[in-house]
Amino acid sequence: MEPVAVVILLALVEYAAFGGLVGWARGKYGVNAPAVSGHPVFERYFRVHQNTLEQLVMFVPAIWLFGTYVNATWAALIGLAFVVARVVYLIGYVKDPAKREIGFALSSLSVVVLLLGALWGVGRQVF
Amino acid sequence: MEPVAVVILLALVEYAAFGGLVGWARGKYGVNAPAVSGHPVFERYFRVHQNTLEQLVMFVPAIWLFGTYVNATWAALIGLAFVVARVVYLIGYVKDPAKREIGFALSSLSVVVLLLGALWGVGRQVF
Amino acid sequence: MEPVAVVILLALVEYAAFGGLVGWARGKYGVNAPAVSGHPVFERYFRVHQNTLEQLVMFVPAIWLFGTYVNATWAALIGLAFVVARVVYLIGYVKDPAKREIGFALSSLSVVVLLLGALWGVGRQVF
């Protein structure tokens, strides 16, 4: 499971970096805590971070269970696609909220493949 | 731990479906990203998704540790109650925010039982 | 891994308590669901809960992988520092948003040490 562990940690480091960008955007666009709105570009960074959180909650257990019950190498490869797709999502969203779609679709697809694959893999053991 | 894994994956698929409802509600009620407010019914779907995220962060480690240190079958059954309670929460909240209480109380109870049970189970091994 | 499991569960119980404070602050400051703003002090409790969620998503996998690939006792000790730092963060933030910095810095440091330590520990096994 070492490759899966590495990819999980990379995804978490990426997420920490997105959190750092939110802090930086607070300063740059003058949005003081606890406010989370007030400047449209700040809100994009904030939403990128939040949306990545929303996906990580599914990603981490799904990649771990896919790695355990299906195949660890495939889990790591699909997980890497997720990490890359989140960068595409960030760049697109900050440029223009309408351009967030491709990165969002790609990372969502990774999560869906991991979720359904893991469900199939576990189901195979039970029945 | 297969039954626990299945229930975790079901809870994550449910959460993904709640995320899909938020996207659908964005279109229906004309709330464009990155805004997360602007129409009361959209806000209910958004809060259902967010609140489920808040509970999943506790639910996934708690059910796993309960399954490991107490009993996997009981973990899966309490976890299923969580998954059902979240549907009750969704239906209640969308109808009327005041009606979210029952589903919220039931899923919170599942999480508390898993958390405290796991704590007791681990503590038993240590002391 | 029992000490790591105990610390994870303590962090989750702490997070559940922060969620309880948000509910209590809704009543005290008259902010009805689904609203998440409307009174500055309510917003502080809400942000403490949210920010703890954002850190827990990294904390739980990071402490587990640090415990597995580096050292379980050190993982538990760094994790305890995280749990304490979050209380410091809560108290500081509620007093004055500008005073949230110390608790935030300390808990972020715990998460960074766990993340990078785990990455080093796993990397050591792979290469």
pLDDT tens readout for residues A104-126: 999 999 999 999 999 999 998 87
Residue type, C65: L
| CA neighbor of C89 nearest in space, from C27, C44, C42, C38 | C44
Residue of A nearest to C94 (CA): A34
How far does the CA of residue A118 sit from the closest CA of chain C (Å)? 18
pLDDT of residue A14: 98
- Alpha carbon C103 to chain centroid, angstroms: 10
Quick check: A103 and A92 in contact, CB under 8 A? yes
- C118 contacts on A by Cβ (under 8 Å): 5, 9
Would you state the structure tokens that stand for residue B29, as one six-digit string? 């009620």
Contact: A122, B57; criterion CB under 8 Å: no
pLDDT of residue A10: 97
- C6 vs B97, B100, B122: nearest CB: B122
Residue of C nearest to B64 (CA): C5
The CA distance from C1 to C3, in Å, is 6
The arithmetic mean of pLDDT across residues A24-45, rounded, is 89
Residue of A nearest to C126 (CA): A2
Contact: A34, C53; criterion CB under 8 Å: no
Query: Residue C41: pLDDT above 80?
Result: yes
Contact: A61, B33; criterion CB under 8 Å: no
The arithmetic mean of pLDDT across residues C66-84, rounded, is 98
Residues 6+ apart with CB under 8 A from C115: A9, A12, A13, A16, C58, C62
User: Is the bond preceding residue B34 a cis peptide, omega within 30 degrees?
Assistant: yes
Query: Residue B34: pLDDT above 80?
Result: no
Buried b (16+ CB within 10 A) or exposed e, C84-117: ebbebbbebbbeebeebeebbebbbebbebbbeb
Contact: C122, A9; criterion CB under 8 Å: yes
Question: Global pTM?
Answer: 0.94
Neighbors of chain A with 3 or more C-beta pairs under 8 Å = B, C
Say what percent of chain C tops pLDDT 70.
100
Q: Can you list the pairs that A107-110 forms with residues at least 24 positions away whose Cβ atoms lie under 8 Å?
A: A107/A55, A107/A81, A107/A82, A108/A55, A109/A85, A110/A59, A110/A78, A110/A79, A110/A81, A110/A82, A110/A85
Would you state the structure tokens that stand for residue C96, as one six-digit string? 């004055």
Mutate to test the interface with C, among B58, B59, B127 (most CBs of C within 10 A): B58
The CA distance from B111 to C47, in Å, is 22
The CA distance from A27 to A10, in Å, is 26
Q: Provide the 8-state DSSP code for B38.
A: S
pLDDT single digits (tens) B58-101:
999 999 999 999 999 999 999 999 999 999 999 999 998 888 88
How far does the CA of residue C121 sit from the closest CA of chain B (Å)? 22
Give the C-alpha distances (Å, rounded to integers) separating A3 from A40, A72, C122, C123, C126.
38, 7, 8, 9, 8
Reduced to 3 states, what is the DSSP secondary structure of residue A93? helix
- C8 contacts on B by Cβ (under 8 Å): 61, 65
How far does the CA of residue C57 sit from the closest CA of chain B (Å)? 7
C97 band by pLDDT with thresholds 50, 70 and 90: confident
- A118 vs B9, B33, B35: nearest CB: B9
